């Protein structure tokens, strides 16, 4: 793994690829599906497969997939592999710009959470008002 990869802490899945590309442009610790630093996760990789790969790298997942914690195969992977997940919350489908604003607004709380809870599994919604933990 290249030295720069050791600085990576966050992985944005395909459900929020626009946000992933934007965060990657702004931050050195964010990669996304299809990124050159994670070639084993090209676009279209099935969820159970990339979840395991991302967990092995101890990355925090950022995504929009509403069913990632409720699909039986994926829920087990989340639990067994200790994944840490930040899901974009809310019932409205927002633009990448609006998602970016939400993450920038709450980035300090995200940093505190990642530092306080370095081991998963855990699952948080990133809502307009902040972070909300959801039971797995």
More confidently predicted of 2 and 12 = 12
Query: What pLDDT does residue 59 have?
Result: 97
Q: How confident is the model at residue 1 (pLDDT cuts 50, 70, 90)?
A: very low
The total number of structural domains in the chain stands at 1
User: Is the pLDDT reported for residue 28 higher than 50?
Assistant: yes
Burial (CB count within 10 angstroms: exposed 0-12, middle 13-18, buried 19+), residue 52: middle
Average pLDDT, the chain: 90
pLDDT tens-place string over residues 45-102: 999 999 999 999 999 999 998 777 778 778 888 899 999 999 998 767 788 999 999 9
DSSP string of 73-129, one letter each residue: HHHHHHHHTT-EEEEE-SSS---HHHHHHHHHHHHHHHHHHHHH--S--EEEEEETT
**Domain interval for residue 15:** 3-133
| CA gap 111, 106 in Å, rounded | 9
Q: What is the mean pLDDT of residues 112-132?
A: 95
Query: What pLDDT does residue 83 have?
Result: 95
Tally the residues of the chain: 136
Q: How confident is the model at residue 6 (pLDDT cuts 50, 70, 90)?
A: low
> What CATH number is given to the structural domain containing 8?
3.40.50
Query: What pLDDT does residue 4 have?
Result: 46
> pLDDT over 90 for what percent of the chain?
76
More confidently predicted of 89 and 9 = 9
């Amino acid at each position: 793994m290249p030295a720069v990869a050791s600085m990576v802490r966050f992985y944005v899945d395909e459900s929020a690829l626009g946000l992933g590309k934007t965060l990657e442009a702004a931050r050195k610790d964010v990669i996304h599906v299809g990124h050159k630093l994670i070639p084993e996760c090209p676009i279209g990789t099935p969820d159970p497969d990339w979840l395991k790969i991302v967990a092995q790298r101890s990355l925090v997942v950022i995504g929009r997939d509403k069913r990632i914690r409720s699909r039986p195969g994926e829920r087990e992977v989340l639990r067994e592999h200790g994944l840490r997940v930040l899901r974009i919350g809310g019932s409205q489908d927002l633009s990448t710009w609006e998602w970016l604003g939400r993450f920038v607004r709450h980035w300090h709380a995200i940093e505190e959470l990642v530092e306080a809870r370095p081991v998963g599994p855990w699952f948080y919604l990133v809502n307009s008002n902040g972070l909300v933990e959801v039971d797995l």
